[in-house]
Amino acid sequence: MKSTPPALVVVALLLLLAVTARAELPEDVRRQVDQRVSMFLEKSGAPGISVAIGVDNEVCFEQGYGLADLENKVAASAESIYRLASISKMLTGVAVLQLVEAGKLDLAAPIRSYVPGYPEKQAPITCDLLLKHQSGIRHYKGDLEIRSNKHYARVRDSFGVFQDDPLLFDPGTRFSYTTYGFNVLGAAIEGASGEDYVSYVQKHIAEPSGMRTLQPDSPFAVIPHRAAGYRKQGKKLLNDFAVDVSNKIPGGGWCSTAGDLVRFAGTLNSGKLLSEQSLETMWTPQKTTDGKQTNAGYGCFIDNVDDDRLISHSGGQPKVSTFLVFSPAKKVAVAVMCNLRESNPKPLAMDLIGLVGAESMEPAAAE
């Protein structure tokens, strides 16, 4: 048997180290993260939370705090799975732009080009308008729609809830947030790609991003490490309402770990899912027809903090409150997933991304 040349052994070891090496937060920064998360739990009264942080577009911190399940005393951990809620819209936005790059979808084409069964409205609706919440399609109409327990086998099966309602305004003239609009985008993805929406996202977004836990939050599936969810009645914690989110998978029906959200953000920011031009389009604040600028991009929101552009989306739904934010320039990301509805994790996530993105995190210059 021939022996392996020493040079090849060295190269193989170096490659292995490159693959397995993982940046870690400095100990003093980890302590500050722990302190700030503990303060959030105390102030919000949330049972549990999982936090993930990425630096240089790679996950470097994943940890749970408190309890994922109060009744069974299951600790929250890096493996805890929560509903993404509306962070799901960012996945849908990426999928649409991938199909634009592939020449399969035109943002300016009437939506009926890809969803022929969608009713005609007083003016054409396009994917461009849907992505930036300017289509005029309404959002939820009361708690009964938010707490829907009806199961839908396909994305377009839920359209009967809203598709025959008149538009709220002429498309393009106003911003009005709508989850149902992203349901229509999910159907457009199916029409343009020839794949069902869930399969498309898992193949073209989850797999390249290494999101091993991303899946629809099915009430029937056995999902290991799925966190229980709670709501407050006064100061009392209650199990939150059981809902079936199959009525809105493209706009709020996925679940995953916090770490997988940061993997998605890092992969997206690395240019592995979309071209630089498409990313710039996605991350540009959109305007209405009268020139008024919104803070909405395509499936995301944009803030400027200390001259740093931050891309984000929040999520709020029975059982969860979530927030994902990342800085394309600094290549840092934070995902916070909490099992208490209306606990508002945005300030915590923004605080943490400011912490890890600070100049003190930069490596010291060599002397």
CA proximity to 136, closest of 78, 177, 88:
177
Could you identify the residue written with the tokens 């001259």? 307
Indicate if the alpha-carbon torsion angle 339, 340, 341, 344 is positive or negative.
Answer: negative
- pLDDT (mean) for 69-83: 98
Please provide the average confidence, as pLDDT, over all residues in the chain: 92
Predicted confidence band at 50 (pLDDT cuts at 50, 70, 90)? very high
Backbone conformation region of residue 201, classed left if phi is above 0, alpha if psi is from -120 to 50, else beta: alpha
Rg (CA), the chain: 21
Residue 41 reports pLDDT greater than 70? yes
Which pLDDT score, from 0 to 100, does residue 142 have?
82
Which of 19-23, 29-33, 351-355 shows the lowest per-residue confidence on average (mean pLDDT)?
A: 19-23
Coil/strand/helix, residue 53:
strand
CA angle 222, 65, 313 (to 5 degrees): 75
- Residues 262/59, Cβ–Cβ less than 8 Å: yes
Q: How far apart are CA 223 and CA 39, in angstroms?
A: 30
Tell me the pLDDT tens digit for each residue of 334-354. Answer: 999 999 999 999 999 999 999
Which pLDDT score, from 0 to 100, does residue 219 have?
94
Predicted confidence band at 365 (pLDDT cuts at 50, 70, 90)? very low
Tell me the pLDDT tens digit for each residue of 7-19. Answer: 444 434 434 434 4
**Per-domain boundaries in the chain:** 25-359
| Model pTM score | 0.91
Q: How far apart are CA 338 and CA 48, in angstroms?
A: 6
Q: How far apart are CA 332 and CA 361, in angstroms?
A: 11
Which pLDDT score, from 0 to 100, does residue 9 have?
40
Question: What CATH number labels 25-359?
Answer: 3.40.710.10
Q: How far apart are CA 295 and CA 343, in angstroms?
A: 22
Tell me the pLDDT tens digit for each residue of 145-189. Answer: 888 889 999 999 999 999 999 999 999 999 999 999 999 999 999
Q: How far apart are CA 172 and CA 40, in angstroms?
A: 38
Which pLDDT score, from 0 to 100, does residue 5 have?
53
Percent of the residues in the chain that have a pLDDT greater than 90, as a whole number? 88
Which pLDDT score, from 0 to 100, does residue 24 have?
86
Residue 227 reports pLDDT greater than 80? yes
Which pLDDT score, from 0 to 100, does residue 362 have?
55
Neighbours of 203 (CB within 10 A): 12
- Residues 354/305, Cβ–Cβ less than 8 Å: yes
Residue 353, φ and ψ in degrees, nearest 5:
-70, -30
Residue 361 reports pLDDT greater than 70? no
Which pLDDT score, from 0 to 100, does residue 16 have?
41
Which pLDDT score, from 0 to 100, does residue 22 have?
55
